[in-house]
Amino acid sequence: MILLLVLIVAGIAFLIFTFGTMWGFSRTGDGFYGRPDIYSENRTSYPGGGMYPGGGMYPGRGMYPGGYPSYNISDFESNGELIYYTGFNESGERIETEYGPHWLYVHGGSCVDCHRTDGRGGYPVMMGYTIPPDIRYETLTSDEHEEEEGHPPYTDETIKRAIREGIDSAGEPLDLTMPRWNMTDKDVNDVVEYLKTL
The one-digit pLDDT tens for each residue of the chain (198 residues) are: 888 777 788 778 766 666 554 444 433 444 333 334 333 333 444 444 444 333 433 333 333 334 444 667 778 899 999 999 988 999 888 898 888 877 776 667 889 888 999 999 988 877 778 889 999 999 999 988 666 677 899 999 999 999 999 999 999 999 888 999 999 999 999 999 999 999
H or E segment and range at residue 72: strand 70-72
List, in sequence order, every residue forming a beta bridge with 36; answer none if it has no partner. 30
Q: What percent of the chain has pLDDT over 90?
A: 33
pLDDT of residue 100: 80
CB 27 within 8 A of CB 47: yes
CA distances from 177 to 146, 156, 190 (A): 22, 22, 22
Q: Looking at residue 34, what DSSP letter applies?
A: G
Q: What is the distance in angstroms between the CA of the first residue and the CA of the last residue of the chain? A: 60
Q: What is the pTM of this model?
A: 0.65
Nearest-angstrom CA–CA distance, 114 and 189 = 20
